[in-house]
């Protein structure tokens, strides 16, 4: 089975996600873009899994999904906390931890 097209698609989605993380300032959108990047990775893992004909890649994809769920929980929690303290929903404003 030829995985090239799947990989190209995965690379595109990853690039879109990365570009989003680096250019957007709204943390919600950044989280969305992170999800895009993770899912691009998942797509590649599934494609490889099909290519080799075994389940290893799928196992990894499941683990990535769990990680993504956790990450979303923490990320959304942070965003809700920011909202409650009436902070600006803008990652550039939150730069107090600079050296």
Partner 1 sequence: MSPTAWGWLILAFPLAGTLVIPLGWRVWPGRVAGYIGSLAILASFVCSVGAFITLHDRAPEARSVTSTLYDYTHTVGVNVGMSILIDPLSVFMALVVSGVSLLIHVYSVAYMDSDRGYTRFFAYMNFFVFSMLLLVLAANIVLLIVGWAFVGAASYLLISFWYRRATASAAGLKAFVMNVIGDVGLVIAAFILFKHTHSLSYAGIFGGAKETFSTNDGAIVAACLLLTVGAFAKSAQLPLHTWLPDAMEGPTPVSALIHAATMVTAGVYLIARFHVLYELAPTAADITAGLAAATLFFAATCALVVTDLKRIIAYSTMSQIGYMMLGVSTGGYDGGLFHLMTHAFFKALLFMAAGSVIAAMAGIQDINRMGGFRRAMPFTFITFTVGALALAGVPPLSGWFSKDSILGFDVHRGGYYLVLAIVGFAGALLTAFYSFRMVFRVFYGDPVPEAGSLERGELAHGEPVNPRTGEHEDTEVGFPGPEHHIAEREFSMKLAMGALALLAIGGGIVQIPGVTDWFDKFLEPVFANSKFVNDQPSTSAEWIGLVVGAGIALAGITTAFVMYLQRPGVTIALRDRFPRLHDFLEHRWYFDELYDALFVRPATTFGNFGRYVIESAFVQGTLVGGATGIVRAGAAIARGVQSGYLRAYALLLLAGVAALGLYFLLQAT
List residues near partner 1 by CB under 8 A.
Answer: 18, 21-23, 25, 30, 91-92, 94-99
CB-nearer residue toward partner 1: 25 or 83: 25
CB-nearer residue toward partner 1: 53 or 99: 99
Find the shortest distance in angstroms from Cβ 54 to partner 1. Answer: 23
Find the shortest distance in angstroms from Cβ 55 to partner 1. Answer: 26
C-alpha to C-alpha distances, 83 to 39, 43, 51, 70, 77, nearest whole angstrom = 27, 33, 45, 20, 10
C-alpha to C-alpha distances, 95 to 16, 23, 53, 91, nearest whole angstrom = 25, 16, 47, 7
Task: Report yes or no: 39 and 13 within 8 Å, Cβ to Cβ.
Answer: yes
CB-nearer residue toward partner 1: 69 or 97: 97
């Amino acid at each position: 089975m030829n995985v090239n097209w799947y990989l190209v698609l995965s690379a595109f989605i990853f690039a879109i996600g990365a570009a989003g993380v680096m250019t957007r300032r709204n943390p919600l959108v950044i989280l969305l873009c992170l999800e895009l990047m993770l899912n691009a990775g998942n797509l590649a893992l599934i494609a490889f899994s099909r290519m080799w004909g075994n389940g290893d890649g799928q196992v990894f994809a499941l683990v990535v999904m769990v990680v993504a769920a956790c990450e979303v929980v923490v990320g959304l929690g942070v965003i809700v906390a920011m909202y409650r303290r009436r902070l600006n929903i803008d990652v550039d404003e939150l730069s107090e931890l600079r050296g």
